[in-house]
Amino acid sequence: MLFTRPKLYILFFIVAFGCHTGKHLTEYQITKDIVSDKAMVVTAHPFATQVGVDILKSGGNAIDAAIGVQFALQVCFPVAGNIGGGGFLMYRESNGKVHALDFREKAPAAASKDMYLDAKGNIIEDLSTFGHLAAGVPGSVDGMWEAYQKFSRLKDWKKLVKPSYEGAKNGILLTPREASGFNNNAEEFLKANGRPTVYGSQKWKAGDILKQTELAETLRLIMENGRDGFYKGKVADLIVAEMKKGKGIITHEDLENYHSKWRDPVLFSYRGYEIASMPPPSSGGIALLQLLKMTEKIEIQDNDWHKTPLTHYIIEAEKRVYADRSKHLGDADFYPVPIKTLTSDAYIKERMSDFNPTKASYFEDVEAGNAYESDQTTHFTIVDEEGNAVSLTTTLNGGYGSMVVVEGAGFLLNNEMDDFSSKPGTPNLYGLIGAEANKIEPGKRMLSSMTPTIISRDGRLKATVGTPGGSTIITSVFQTIVNIIDFKMNAYESVAAPRFHHQWRPEQVYYEDNCFTPETLKSLSIMGHSMERRGPIGRVEAIVVDKNGRLTGGADPRGEDDAKGY
């Protein structure tokens, strides 16, 4: 393969407050490639990973650990970790039962189809991505509360939130990436808030201690009052006050009326493996099913990895899948998403019937099929001692979301309203095109690309995988699964392998360094593909069960992601 496999990457700092033990640390140890016998946690940040491991060791199950990690990521990874955003959770019990929890944000009741358009019907620049009006009603706290009510083993909510409360109150160590993120966005924080915020309050450097007093108070209220600590009372008052200051539209009623929802997961097979992923309003599960079913139609040899014929076929499959996404997918509570048609063998076969093995199709020639019934996110994976598994993807949408920090509450609000189709046919923040299925409507959940996925074989857990990355999430998860199943890679190999991405529009095929040989790039270009090198694609987290039943963890080397187990 074209990638290396370092075993351990360590960040050294001088002083850091222990995440919840009351002890002082001198370093973060970031492990990328690990094997464990009992349990494992892989997240975007070592603080969050350690919180999850400690909860597992104290007797919690994968859901308990997931709740702890979700709150911890708000403290240590605010670029994407959140209580002001939302996401999707896939949970596989050790007995094989799979559950899908949708805690995606919703459009406020005062939202309207043309709210981001001017009098001439043109999109008003930045209105759906920056500032108060860009925020949807947050779902993360309700989602964690719902998961806790249904599946917690510890039944001790305070114990799950307390590590994050203490981390916010006493301070956590800043990594180089997070310090750089704060500094690079200091002007945007000031512009969005009209006042200094904790993230833009100074020139940060790696090793500084970040104390978040206002956030700590918010977490204390959530710790003591559960869901009501966020959607009612002081925190709700602060959110609504913030909205009024910035001409936002989230109200007390929007907050009180928000509820996450258990949905039927997308279930299918690929080469004898059982795949479970998210249904709408995530496009991930259906798109992943289509890609894998299209790929299942062809034979893959060990030496096909990133060679011209297979790469060409995958690019062509991605074009068709993303064309379907643009037209047919949205919140199934508001639009008759043609799930049965989109996932049928006959439809998938027909979609690839015009595939030309020697020539690229142009996006103008690829349209959505007739199926009528009608880059900043974060992911973590957890497997506990009983074999229960969580795959959870959560987001604010863009990096630091709307850039709005709720005054007095200390957390960022999302800019998820941009994931709706503000105007049919017009690209969003990630270049994705949408249509009627994803138009803005009050109370509706916006379409997402998040693809938390769990894989089984013969009734036993095989892997749990997911990634951030906006529009690249689906293709990154797809390629990781192909790496695991078809190319027999272990967890770290599968996430470290270079990736490529195509999404129908724009026409470019994006690829990472060392993804293709010069010969492959030349041959793909001759076939008509527009190849463009870009920076890192996704940050995949994976746990894979090896042939001996051990857990192998892979934390993506593209970030400060960390895997720990025991």
Please identify which of the residues 377, 395, 451, 520 carries the catalytic annotation: 377
Measured at the CA of 329, the angle between CA 323 and CA 335, to 5 degrees, comes to 140
The answer as to whether 2 is a domain residue is: no
As given in the structure block, the two tokens for residue 370 are 């007739």
> Are the CB atoms for 91 and 151 separated by under 8 Å?
yes
As given in the structure block, the two tokens for residue 360 are 């690229």
Longest dimension (CA), the chain: 64
In a shared domain, residues 503 and 365: yes
The answer as to whether 103 is a domain residue is: yes
Q: Which CATH number does the domain housing residue 495 bear? A: 3.60.20.40
The answer as to whether 35 is a domain residue is: yes
The answer as to whether 121 is a domain residue is: no
Distance separating alpha carbons of residues 403 and 65, to the nearest angstrom: 28
Look up the domain containing 268 and give its range: 263-376+450-565
As given in the structure block, the two tokens for residue 514 are 């060392």
Phi, psi dihedrals of residue 142, rounded to the nearest 5°: -60, -40
The answer as to whether 432 is a domain residue is: no
In a shared domain, residues 153 and 65: yes
Other CB atoms within a 10 A radius of the CB of residue 21 amount to: 12
> Are the CB atoms for 561 and 13 separated by under 8 Å?
no
Q: What's the domain count of the chain?
A: 2
Is residue 520 flagged as an active site residue?
A: no
Helix pair angle (46-57, 62-76), 10° resolution: 150
As given in the structure block, the two tokens for residue 31 are 């492990």
Q: What is the pLDDT along the chain (566 residues), one digit of tens a residue?
A: 444 444 443 343 333 333 333 344 447 899 999 999 999 999 999 999 999 999 999 999 999 999 999 999 999 999 999 999 999 999 999 999 999 999 999 999 999 999 999 999 999 999 999 999 999 999 999 999 999 999 999 999 999 999 999 999 999 999 999 999 999 999 999 999 999 999 998 999 999 999 999 999 999 999 999 999 999 999 999 999 999 999 999 999 999 999 999 999 999 999 999 999 999 999 999 999 999 999 999 999 999 999 999 999 999 999 999 988 888 899 999 999 999 999 999 999 999 999 999 999 865 555 444 433 325 799 999 999 999 999 999 999 999 999 999 999 999 999 999 999 876 656 555 455 556 788 999 999 999 999 999 999 999 999 999 999 888 999 999 999 999 999 999 999 999 999 999 987 778 999 999 999 999 999 999 999 999 999 999 999 999 999 999 999 999 999 999 999 99
In a shared domain, residues 45 and 138: yes
As given in the structure block, the two tokens for residue 435 are 């249509």
In a shared domain, residues 498 and 551: yes
